[in-house]
Homo-oligomer: A and B are copies of this chain.
Amino acid sequence: MQYTFSSRADRLKPSAIREILKFTSKPGIIPFAAGNPAAEAFPTAEIAEISSRLLHDSPIDALQYSVTEGYEPLRVHLKTYLSKQHGIGRDFDELIVTAGAQQVMSLVSTAFCDSGDEVLCEDPSFIGSLNAFRASGAKLIGIPMRPDGLDLEALEQALRVAKRPRFLYTIPNFQNPTGITMSRQKREQVYALAKKYGILILEDNPYGEIRFAGEDIPTIKSLDTEGLVIYAGSFSKVLSPGMRLGYCMAPAPIIQKLVALKQTQDVHTNIWAQQVAFAFMTEYDYAAHLERIRAIYRRKATLCMEQCEKTLSPEITFEPVEGGLFLWCRLPEYMDMNRFCTEAVREEQVAVVPGNAFSVDENAPSHCFRINYSTPSDEQIVAGLEKLKRVKEKLQ
């Protein structure tokens, strides 16, 4: 049988990262290509304790169908938390609980994009989000990155010429893959441009709460006086990714539409996970938990940067990071990036992600690769970078 797929499904290739991830789960491979949060950051004892209580005291509530909007106590708590901690949420905003922030990308692009509509995004950007937009039929317009975030001139130029731009997708904190954080001034300028051109902003903030150095910068959503910003949050880095738990705060009419669409995707998010997250945020010292996680990432990032300095510099450069899970490394012009990544995995059993996996146009040339420092152990970080040094020396 030959099967004919829809044109938007036809454009979709399995995620390069997911395919690499499968390969990297082979024993012996050093997993710089993954994006897994550090396993030691999971509050496993607390989750076991909460889960045991839920399943003994009120098992039906944890196992029965629930409402699409999300577990009401969690929704109420998240609204308060976001408001107090991040100044997010106005009277016109509402909140929906989702299956990870990934589902926010899927729901928002389905809600807004007809086939051929434009989505503007940072280039490079998180491939999972780009593929969600592609799956909705959207045309991606990549905006280059500067050290302080989006290139504003390129953004305004794109807004001027786009036919039906529906939203701008951005990860302002510790962007995946570049690690770049958008400056406060640029956040204000981006919001002003959105207002001027009447375009929505989809602000994805999975790493915001694991800043381990420097000062917090207000989210774009906190500037949102006009109802232009859709904010996506995630429990994947602060609690557990396997639970698949995220949320979206946006103006109520948008949330209503996302609710109707979520009904068609999965009815509601796993209710056990929602109840565990609620109990963990309200019955334990959540602030202390975040501090503990930040210390883990601070240690691993610092180690990784020190080792990169030792082994890859000066030929291979990287921007220091203050949060997130990734280092973005740049090869010298004369070094072939794909060959570097291929040699690394084949000859040295070290997996990194080739930079073009994150490009809007995967065929555009890239001189970068991404290193993840949260998945490998400290020993693997040291050993892996020694191995990458050998690859570098071979290609010099």
Binding site for B on A (CB under 8 A): 1, 3-9, 12-15, 18, 21-22, 34-37, 39, 42, 44, 47-48, 51-52, 55-56, 59-60, 62-68, 99-100, 102-103, 105-106, 110-115, 117, 128, 131-132, 134-136, 200, 226-228, 236, 240-244, 251, 253-254, 256-257, 259-261, 263-273
Q: How far is the CA of A349 from the CA of B299 in the complex (A)?
A: 60
Q: Given A67-B18, A265-B265, A270-B244, verify A59-B42 contact (CB < 8 Å).
A: yes
Determine which of B5, B243, B260 lies in contact with A257 in the assembled complex, contact meaning CB atoms within 8 Å.
Answer: B5
Is the CB–CB distance between A244 and B268 below 8 Å? yes
Is the CB–CB distance between B68 and A261 below 8 Å? no
Determine which of B12, B42, B270 lies in contact with A63 in the assembled complex, contact meaning CB atoms within 8 Å.
Answer: B42
Q: Given A39-B60, A39-B64, A260-B14, verify A110-B242 contact (CB < 8 Å).
A: no
Is the CB–CB distance between A253 and B62 below 8 Å? no
* Cβ-closest chain B residue relative to A243: B270
A312 nearest CB across to chain B (Å) = 27
A257 / chain B contacts, CB cutoff of 8 Å: 3, 5, 9, 12
Q: Given A15-B260, A67-B21, verify A111-B6 contact (CB < 8 Å).
A: yes
Q: How far is the CA of A13 from the CA of B263 in the complex (A)?
A: 10
Q: How far is the CA of A200 from the CA of B6 in the complex (A)?
A: 14
Is the CB–CB distance between B267 and A63 below 8 Å? no
* Cβ-closest chain B residue relative to A250: B3
Determine which of B51, B52, B267 lies in contact with A102 in the assembled complex, contact meaning CB atoms within 8 Å.
Answer: B267
Closest 4 CB pairs of A and B: A44-B59, A48-B55, A63-B240, A99-B266
Is the CB–CB distance between A48 and B44 below 8 Å? no
A165 nearest CB across to chain B (Å) = 12
Q: Given A52-B48, A56-B48, A60-B39, verify A241-B12 contact (CB < 8 Å).
A: no
* Cβ-closest chain B residue relative to A136: B6
Copies of this chain present in the complex amount to: 2
Among A18, A110, A228, A269, max chain B CB count under 10 A is at A110
Is the CB–CB distance between B256 and A271 below 8 Å? no
Q: How far is the CA of A106 from the CA of B227 in the complex (A)?
A: 29
Q: How far is the CA of A110 from the CA of B114 in the complex (A)?
A: 13
Q: How far is the CA of A44 from the CA of B59 in the complex (A)?
A: 6
A254 / chain B contacts, CB cutoff of 8 Å: 3
* Cβ-closest chain B residue relative to A50: B55
Q: How far is the CA of A372 from the CA of B213 in the complex (A)?
A: 56
8 contacts across the A-B interface (CB closer than 8 A)? A44-B55, A44-B63, A48-B59, A52-B52, A63-B242, A100-B267, A102-B266, A131-B264
Is the CB–CB distance between A47 and B63 below 8 Å? yes
A22 nearest CB across to chain B (Å) = 7
Is the CB–CB distance between A242 and B270 below 8 Å? yes
Determine which of B115, B131, B270 lies in contact with A115 in the assembled complex, contact meaning CB atoms within 8 Å.
Answer: B115
A266 / chain B contacts, CB cutoff of 8 Å: 99-100, 102-103, 106, 244, 265-266
* Cβ-closest chain B residue relative to A45: B59
* Cβ-closest chain B residue relative to A198: B1
A73 nearest CB across to chain B (Å) = 15
Q: How far is the CA of A270 from the CA of B62 in the complex (A)?
A: 14
Determine which of B14, B55, B240, B271 lies in contact with A51 in the assembled complex, contact meaning CB atoms within 8 Å.
Answer: B55
A34 / chain B contacts, CB cutoff of 8 Å: 65
Q: How far is the CA of A72 from the CA of B328 in the complex (A)?
A: 32
Determine which of B6, B42, B243, B273 lies in contact with A114 in the assembled complex, contact meaning CB atoms within 8 Å.
Answer: B6
Is the CB–CB distance between B3 and A251 below 8 Å? yes
A21 / chain B contacts, CB cutoff of 8 Å: 67
Is the CB–CB distance between A270 and B267 below 8 Å? no
